[in-house]
Amino acid sequence: MDKVTVLFTPDNVAVQVEPGTSLLQAAGLAGISLVSSCGGDGTCGRCLVKVEDGHVRVAETGNLSKKAKQSGLVLACQSFVESNVVIGIPSMSRLTEHQVLLDENQLMEEDIGTDEGFFFRPLCRVVELTLSPPTLAENVADWERLQTALRNVIDCSDIRISLPVLRRLPELLRTDDWRVTVIVAQMNDCAEVVDIAAGHVQKELNLYGLAIDIGTTTVAINLIDLKSGLPVGQKGSYNRQASFGDDVISRIIHASEASGGLPELQSAVISTINDLVAELLQLSNIDAHDVRMVTVAGNTTMTHLFLGLSPKYIRLEPYIPLAASTPAVRASELGLNINPAAYVVCFPSVASYVGGDIVAGTLVTNLAQEERIILLIDIGTNGEMVLGNKDWLVTAACSAGPAFEGGGITFGMRAMKGAIDKIKVDPATFDVQVSTVGRCKAQGICGSGLINCLATLRAVGIIDRTGKLQTDLSTPRLRQGDDGWEFVLVYGNDTAHGRDIVITEHDIKNLMRAKAAVYAGIRSMLQAVQLTEDMIDCVLIAGGFGNCLNIRDAITIGLLPDLPTEKYRFIGNSSLKGARLALISQQAWQEAQLLGSKMTYLELSAGNEFMDEFMSALFLPHTDMTRFPSVTNLK
Amino acid sequence: MDKVTVLFTPDNVAVQVEPGTSLLQAAGLAGISLVSSCGGDGTCGRCLVKVEDGHVRVAETGNLSKKAKQSGLVLACQSFVESNVVIGIPSMSRLTEHQVLLDENQLMEEDIGTDEGFFFRPLCRVVELTLSPPTLAENVADWERLQTALRNVIDCSDIRISLPVLRRLPELLRTDDWRVTVIVAQMNDCAEVVDIAAGHVQKELNLYGLAIDIGTTTVAINLIDLKSGLPVGQKGSYNRQASFGDDVISRIIHASEASGGLPELQSAVISTINDLVAELLQLSNIDAHDVRMVTVAGNTTMTHLFLGLSPKYIRLEPYIPLAASTPAVRASELGLNINPAAYVVCFPSVASYVGGDIVAGTLVTNLAQEERIILLIDIGTNGEMVLGNKDWLVTAACSAGPAFEGGGITFGMRAMKGAIDKIKVDPATFDVQVSTVGRCKAQGICGSGLINCLATLRAVGIIDRTGKLQTDLSTPRLRQGDDGWEFVLVYGNDTAHGRDIVITEHDIKNLMRAKAAVYAGIRSMLQAVQLTEDMIDCVLIAGGFGNCLNIRDAITIGLLPDLPTEKYRFIGNSSLKGARLALISQQAWQEAQLLGSKMTYLELSAGNEFMDEFMSALFLPHTDMTRFPSVTNLK
C-alpha cells in the first residue's frame, strides 16, 4: 500500500508512514515527543492531538474524556492514519522536561500525594552540537572545541572521553561542517562522551536504557527509550539463582562456602537478565548496541552477587557488606549482552539487609520530602521497611522468608495464571470455592491467596489462634498427609495437574513466622522512634503483592497493623520504578546517592525487643488482642 | 660470607646485609630514605651519615666536602659495610617531603635561580592504613570504611576503585586485623585505589613509575622509585618512527596518507619504549608489574602518534590538533609492557607545534614563577620557544628541521662515541684537527660539532657570509664530491669507517636554514611582545645539545641572539625532567595542566614577519651585522 503523509502543526514537520500507523508512532518518527505515561496503551489519556485535515481511524478503547472529545481531540496512540492528514499538537501534549517530571510526579501523587518531582534528564542522552569552525586566530584543538560546545548545553565542567571514541572525532567533526550529535553519559560530577556521529542525527540515533529490579525470587526489567523517557517494554521472570537456595542466607552460604559458588550465582543472575533483555530487544526490534545505560536496584546481597562481590560478611556478625556504594562498571565487565561500553550503576545500600531496592522505593515515593509520617514496607523474601518523613528516616529489615512469594509452601507459587488468589469456605460444610488468576484450573496458591486462606480458615474456625488445624472438625478435607495434618483446598479432578491442592499445618507455621516477623519489625521500628501505630499517616505496600493483597485479610492475620484500610496504598514494584526514575533523571539518581546516607539503620537483631515482639506475634492475629480491635476474637 | 648487621640510629632499626653492601642500600632495606639527588653516584654529596661503631670501607671517589669529612661524616652511597656497624643518620640527610622538594628545587636553582618548588607526592603512591574494626553499632561497609581511612591521609574526597580490586577487599582487610597497605593513583580531583595488600607492608611493596620524553628523533626514559622519588635508571635510543621520516611533517603524512600508517607509527614508538623499559627493568631487577604510573612529554605530533590519535589536521591550515589535553589511559590500551592497569598520562599541548615537551620544560624551569624575563629554547627537530615570566608567557615554534640532530647532514650523527664535537682549522694551511666524543676515531659530526664547524669554517674564510665554499682556496680538502662542493674534515685513514668525513655545501645550506629558522622565531616572538633582545634576562637552552654547545659558536653563526654568554644556561632534556617532576609531584602535574592554558601561542606562519626575519637570517651571522656587534665582520 502507498505511504501517506502526516504533517504536524505548528511544527510543520511531515513524515511518510504506512496507512494504519498510529499518530503516536508518526509523531515519534517526526522527532516530536508526545506525553504518554502509559507508553501507548490508551490508558493515561494524555497524548491528545487534533485531526485538522484528513482521516484517522480512532479506536474506541482509549481513555478519552468527554470534554476532550467535545474539543475535537483524539488520543494519538489510539488513532491510526488512513489518508494524508494534518495533525495539530496542543502544547499540553508536548513532552518537555517539566512534563515528564509531572508525569512521574502524577504517578506519585496518586500513590502518596506528594507534589515533589524530578526533571527529565536521562543518565545517558543525545545532544546535537554545532561547533564554530577553527581558524588560524582561533585554533583550539578538536577535543577542547567539542568540550566547549558541550559545556554550553550540559551542566558539567569535567567532560571525559575514551581513547577509541576520541580517535574518531576529527573526521566526524569535519563530515557535516562541524555539526555533530554526541551521546553523553552523566551520572555525577563528571560527564563522558560515549559516542559521536556526524551531522545532526538525533532523530536517527537510537538510545535505550534498562531499569532492572533484582529480587531474591524474581527479576524485573524495563526497557526505556532514553530519548523520550517512555517505556518500550517490560519483562520479568524467576531469578535463576533460586536453584541455589530460596533466600538470601542460603545464597550467601553458597557464595561463601561452595567452590566457585560466587561466580556461579553471578552468572545465574546475569543469564536471567540476558535472556529477558534478549526477549525485550527482539520484541521491539532494538539493536543491543543501542542500549547504553543500566540502573539496577536490588537488596544488598543481590547487588553483591550481580557484581561478583562476596556477600560473605553480610551474614556474619557484625553483618558488614563489602560495599554500600558500588562503582559504575561497564556492561562488558559483567557479561551483559548490550553495548559493551554501557555503564551499569547500582543503587547504594543502607546496610546488609536494607538494600538499593529500598533506597529506590524511598526515592520514587518521595518519602524524604513528605510532611506526614509514612511507613514503606516491601514484603519480598525479606521484609524491609522505612519509616519517616522529610525530617528523619529509619529503616530496618526482618527475615520474613520466602513464604509470601510461594517459597517453602507445599503448593506455593507466584501470582501467575492458575494461582489461587481467594478462597471461600462454607462455615457449615467446610466446602471450598476458589478463584484463580486467569480464571482457569488451579495450579497452586500465590502470596495474597495464602494470606486470604489463613484469614478465611481462621474465620471459619478450621485453624485456631496458634495456627493449629482443628482436626476434630467433621470434614474429609481435613486429613493426615505425608507432611502431617493438611486441609484440601481443591481436589485433583478440579486442578490443572490432577493433584489435590492442600495447605499443610507446616505451611501455616511458615506463613505465621513470616507474618510475625514483618509485624514485629514494624513494632520494633515504631518503638525505636517512640511512635505508636496510630501516628502513621500512610502505609505504602511495595513488592510482589501488587494490588492483589486484601488489606483486611492482612490485618486479620496480624501481618499489618490495625489501621483504617484507607491509610494503606499499594505501590507495586517500587524498586523497579525507582530504577526507572533514576535512569531518566540525573537529579533522581543523585538524590538516591544521598538517600542512602540519610537513612538510619536499625539492627533488629541487636536487641531483645524484636524477638519479644516476634514471639507475641506468633498468634492470629496476636497474643495481645487489644492491638487489633477491629479483628473479632473468635473462639 | 656471613651477613653483618647494620643498626641505624636514632631509628634503632637494624638490617642484615652481605658485607660490601653500601650504607645507602642498607638504609633502603631498613625503610629509611636518605636524600640522594644523584641516585647513588657519589656526586651530589648529600647522603651524609656517621659511622658510630664498626668498620666501613669508604671509596675515595665521592663528592665529600672537607667540612663534612672533618665532622666524621661519610657518603652512604660510597661507604660499604665490612662488619657489624652502628650508623647515625643526621636529620639533614633524611628524605622528607620537603627535602625532595628542595632536591628538585636545588637542581632548578642551579639552572635558573628560582626558589619555587613542589612537594614530593607521586601520582601513584603507597599508603599504610589502620581501620577501626566494625561493630554492630558501627557497621559501615568495608569499602566505605576504607574510603574514610584514606580520606584522613590523602587530600581527596572522590575515591574510586575498580571491580577486580574491590572484590579482593574484604579478605585483605581481615587478614591482619584491619591493617592494609594500599596503592593509590591520584592525578586530579579524584583518587583511585589501584591495589591493596594485607598488613602494613609498605617496605615490602615495590612501586615504580616511568617518565618518558618522546622526541621526534630520540626517546628517553627515567625509571623512578615512587616510594623515594629517586631515579633507578635511565635509557635512551632513537625513535623507531625515524624509518618513516625524519621530521614531524613526514610522520604526519605517513600517518594520514599511508594505509595503516597511523598504527604503524604508534607501534614503532611503543616498541621503542617497550625495549628501553625491558632493559631498564632487567638491569635493576624490577618486576614489570610494579611499574604503575607513566608520565609522557612529547611534542604534539609525538603525543598524538603515541596515543594512536590522527595528527592529520596538525599539518593542514588552520593547524588543529585532535586534542590538547588527552585522557589518562591504561598501559594495556597502548600495549606498554608494564602493569596493564598502570595509568599513562601525557602532558597537555599548547598548539599544533608547541607540545607537552615544552609545557614540561616550562614546568621544570619554574618559568611561570619568575620575575625576570626568560627565554626557553628547545632545539630539536623543531625549534620551540617560550618567552615570559610570572605575568605572561608566549610560545612559538619554527621548523628547524633535523640538521642539529644530525638529520639531513651527510655525516650527521648524535653526540655519541666517535662524533666530532669540535674542529680546529689552521688558517694558513687549512689543515684540520678534530676532537671526538670518547676521544676515538671519528664516525661523523654531532649537532654541536656542526655549529662549531660552521663557525670555524667561517672564521678562517673557507665559507663566505652566504655559506658558500670558497672553492678558489688552495687546499685539496676543498673538492667536488658526489653532492657538489665539499670540504674534507677527516681523511679516511683516520676515520672509524675508512671513508672521508666531509661537510658539503648542501649540508651547510641545511644548517643555515635551521639556524635561520630558530633565530627568526626568537625575533618574531620578541616583536610580538614588543621587546628587544637585550631585555631578555636569561636564555635557557634545552634539548639534545646538552652542555656541548658552544654559545660563542652559536652566536657567531647567528643561531642565538648576541647576548653576554653568562645570560645563557643549559638545562639539558627539560622535557624528560618535567615528566619526572610531574611523576613524583601531584602539585607539579596539576600545575602542568594549568600551564598549557596560560601560554599564548603565536602562529609564526600567520604573518609575513617570520618569513622576512628568516630571509634576513640566511647569512652568517645575519644580513644586518649591527644585530651581532660581538661578531667580527670578516671579509
B69 contacts B41 by C-beta, under 8 angstroms: no
Separation of alpha carbons B452 and B102, rounded Å: 36
Instruction: Decide if A608 touches B, using CB distance below 8 A.
Output: no
- Confidence at B159, pLDDT banded by 50, 70, 90: very high
CATH number at residue A340: 3.30.420.480
**Among B136, B161, B163, beta carbon nearest to A317:** B136
- In the structure grid, which three cell numbers stand for residue B360, read together? 614540561
Residue A137 counted as domain residue = no
- In the structure grid, which three cell numbers stand for residue A615, read together? 514471639
CATH number at residue B41: 3.10.20.30
Residue A182 counted as domain residue = no
Bridging pattern class, strands A85-88 and B158-161: unpaired
Cβ-defined contact of B141 to A320 (cutoff 8 Å): yes
User: Of B95, B118, B138, which residue sits at a domain end?
Assistant: B95
Residue A38 confidence (pLDDT): 57
Separation of alpha carbons A310 and B174, rounded Å: 14
Residues 6 or more apart whose CB falls under 8 angstroms from that of B530 comprise none
Percent of chain B with pLDDT over 70: 93
Greater model confidence, B181 or B365: B181
Cβ-defined contact of A320 to B160 (cutoff 8 Å): no
Give residue-wise pLDDT tens across range A606-628.
778 899 999 999 999 999 999 99
A362 contacts A369 by C-beta, under 8 angstroms: no
By CA distance, what is A256's nearest residue in B?
B171
- Confidence at A37, pLDDT banded by 50, 70, 90: low
Give residue-wise pLDDT tens across range B188-197.
888 999 999 9
Q: First and final CA of chain A: distance in angstroms?
A: 74
Residue B13 confidence (pLDDT): 79
Cβ-defined contact of B167 to A349 (cutoff 8 Å): no
Name the minimum distance, in Å, from the CA of A449 to any CA of chain B: 38
Residues 6 or more apart whose CB falls under 8 angstroms from that of B66 comprise none
Average pLDDT over residues A258-269: 95
Q: Which residues of A touch B606 (CB under 8 A)?
A: 136-137
pTM metric for this prediction: 0.79
Instruction: Decide if A140 touches B, using CB distance below 8 A.
Output: yes
Residue A107 counted as domain residue = no
Cβ-defined contact of A166 to B603 (cutoff 8 Å): no
Residue A493 counted as domain residue = yes
A520 contacts A550 by C-beta, under 8 angstroms: no
By CA distance, what is B329's nearest residue in A?
A163
Separation of alpha carbons B126 and B443, rounded Å: 48
CATH number at residue A595: 3.30.420
Residue A579 confidence (pLDDT): 95
**Among A141, A308, A351, beta carbon nearest to B167:** A308
Among A100-114, A524-538, B246-260, the range scoring the smallest mean pLDDT is: A100-114
Name the minimum distance, in Å, from the CA of A445 to any CA of chain B: 39
The reply to whether B521 and B613 lie within a common domain is yes
The reply to whether B370 and B327 lie within a common domain is no
- Residue closest to B342 by CA, chosen among B296, B297, B307, B293: B293
Q: A72: exposed, middle or buried (C-beta count within 10 Å: 0-12, 13-18, 19+)?
A: exposed
- Check whether B450 has a pLDDT greater than 80: yes
User: What's the farthest any 2 CA atoms get from each other in chain A?
Assistant: 100
Residue whose C-alpha cell reads 620537603 in the numeric block: B98
User: Of B70, B95, B120, which residue sits at a domain end?
Assistant: B95
Q: Residue type for B361, please?
A: G
Residue B65 confidence (pLDDT): 74
Residue A200 counted as domain residue = no
Q: Residue type for B359, please?
A: V
- The enclosing H or E element of A71 equals none
Instruction: Decide if B607 touches A, using CB distance below 8 A.
Output: no
Residues of the domain holding A221: 208-346
B256 contacts B309 by C-beta, under 8 angstroms: no
Residue B596 confidence (pLDDT): 84
Among A81-95, A150-164, A609-623, B364-378, the range scoring the smallest mean pLDDT is: A81-95
A380 contacts A405 by C-beta, under 8 angstroms: yes
Residue B97 confidence (pLDDT): 34
Instruction: Decide if B459 touches A, using CB distance below 8 A.
Output: no
Residue whose C-alpha cell reads 654531532 in the numeric block: B446
Residue B157 counted as domain residue = no
Cβ-defined contact of B167 to A309 (cutoff 8 Å): yes
Could you tell me which residues are beta bridge partners of residue A93? none
By CA distance, what is A306's nearest residue in B?
B163
Instruction: Decide if A431 touches B, using CB distance below 8 A.
Output: no
Average pLDDT over residues A428-457: 93
Among A403-417, A581-595, B214-228, B323-337, the range scoring the smallest mean pLDDT is: A403-417
Give residue-wise pLDDT tens across range A124-173.
999 999 999 999 889 899 999 999 999 999 888 899 999 999 999 999 99
Output the CA–CA distances (angstroms, integers) from residue A363 to A369, A581, A589, A593, A599, in the order listed. 9, 9, 9, 10, 12
Give residue-wise pLDDT tens across range B94-142.
764 322 222 333 333 333 333 346 888 999 999 999 999 999 889 899 9
- In the structure grid, which three cell numbers stand for residue A438, read together? 486467569
The reply to whether B228 and B304 lie within a common domain is yes
Separation of alpha carbons A543 and A381, rounded Å: 10
What ipTM does this complex have? 0.79
The reply to whether B369 and B443 lie within a common domain is yes
Separation of alpha carbons A501 and A444, rounded Å: 7
Give residue-wise pLDDT tens across range B59-93.
877 778 777 788 788 999 889 999 999 999 887 67
| HEC-encoded secondary structure of B64-102 | CCHHHHHCCEEEHHHEEECCCEEEECCHHHECCHHHHHH
Separation of alpha carbons A238 and B333, rounded Å: 39
Residue A534 counted as domain residue = yes
**Among A162, A166, A322, beta carbon nearest to B309:** A166
User: Of B95, B130, B145, which residue sits at a domain end?
Assistant: B95
> For an interface test with B, which of A131, A135, A139 has the most B Cβ atoms less than 10 Å from its Cβ?
A139
DSSP labels, B390-401: SS-EEEEEE---
The reply to whether A363 and A244 lie within a common domain is no
Instruction: Decide if A574 touches B, using CB distance below 8 A.
Output: no
The reply to whether B437 and B583 lie within a common domain is yes
Instruction: Provide the CB-side half-sphere exposure for B362 (13 A, CA).
Output: 35
The reply to whether A370 and A439 lie within a common domain is no
Instruction: Decide if B119 touches A, using CB distance below 8 A.
Output: no
The DSSP secondary-structure symbol of A12 reads: T
The reply to whether B316 and B374 lie within a common domain is no
Separation of alpha carbons A246 and A227, rounded Å: 38
By CA distance, what is A165's nearest residue in B?
B309
**Among A321, A327, A606, beta carbon nearest to B141:** A321
- In the structure grid, which three cell numbers stand for residue B550, read together? 658552544
The reply to whether B324 and B368 lie within a common domain is no
Name the minimum distance, in Å, from the CA of B427 to any CA of chain A: 50
Instruction: Decide if B316 touches A, using CB distance below 8 A.
Output: no
Residue A409 counted as domain residue = no
Residue A39 confidence (pLDDT): 55
Output the CA–CA distances (angstroms, integers) from residue B250 to A319, B247, B411, in the order listed. 64, 6, 21
Number of folded domains that form chain A: 4
- In the structure grid, which three cell numbers stand for residue A544, read together? 510482589
Strand order in the sheet with B4-9: B13-17, B4-9, B85-88, B48-53, B73-75
Average pLDDT over residues B491-520: 94
Cβ-defined contact of B322 to A169 (cutoff 8 Å): yes
Q: What angle do CA B465, B469, B471 make, to 5 degrees?
A: 130
Specify the 3-state DSSP secondary structure of A492.
helix
Separation of alpha carbons B174 and A503, rounded Å: 47
The reply to whether A379 and A526 lie within a common domain is yes
Which of B 151-170 lie inside 8 A of A, CB atoms? 158, 160-163, 166-167, 169-170
Could you tell me which residues are beta bridge partners of residue B190? B158
Residue B544 confidence (pLDDT): 67
A350 contacts A384 by C-beta, under 8 angstroms: no
Give residue-wise pLDDT tens across range A559-592.
999 999 999 988 888 899 999 999 999 999 999 9
Separation of alpha carbons B295 and B329, rounded Å: 11
Separation of alpha carbons A632 and A634, rounded Å: 6
Q: First and final CA of chain B: distance in angstroms?
A: 74
Residue B136 confidence (pLDDT): 85
Strand order in the sheet with B538-542: B568-572, B538-542, B374-379, B383-388, B393-398, B600-601
Residue A416 confidence (pLDDT): 77
The reply to whether A487 and A540 lie within a common domain is no
Cβ-defined contact of A139 to B169 (cutoff 8 Å): no
- Residue closest to B478 by CA, chosen among B466, B496, B495, B461: B461
Question: How many Cβ atoms sit within 10 Å of the Cβ of residue B202?
Answer: 17
> For an interface test with B, which of A158, A320, A334, A344 has the most B Cβ atoms less than 10 Å from its Cβ?
A320
Q: What angle do CA A420, A424, A427 make, to 5 degrees?
A: 150
- Confidence at B463, pLDDT banded by 50, 70, 90: very high
**Among A141, A313, A327, beta carbon nearest to B322:** A141
**Among B163, B318, B327, beta carbon nearest to A161:** B327
Residue B1 confidence (pLDDT): 63
- Confidence at A102, pLDDT banded by 50, 70, 90: very low
Residue A596 confidence (pLDDT): 84
Cβ-defined contact of B166 to A137 (cutoff 8 Å): no
By CA distance, what is B602's nearest residue in A?
A137
The reply to whether B326 and B420 lie within a common domain is no
Name the minimum distance, in Å, from the CA of A199 to any CA of chain B: 18
Average pLDDT over residues B364-373: 91
* Mean confidence (pLDDT) of chain A: 89
Cβ-defined contact of B327 to A163 (cutoff 8 Å): yes
Give residue-wise pLDDT tens across range A270-304.
999 999 999 999 999 999 999 999 999 999 999 99
Bridging pattern class, strands A568-572 and A538-542: parallel
- Check whether A442 has a pLDDT greater than 70: yes
- Residue closest to B353 by CA, chosen among B322, B323, B398, B392: B398
Instruction: Decide if B317 touches A, using CB distance below 8 A.
Output: yes
Greater model confidence, A71 or B21: B21
Residue B635 confidence (pLDDT): 58
- Quick one: how far is CA A388 from the chain centroid? 21
Separation of alpha carbons B635 and B626, rounded Å: 16
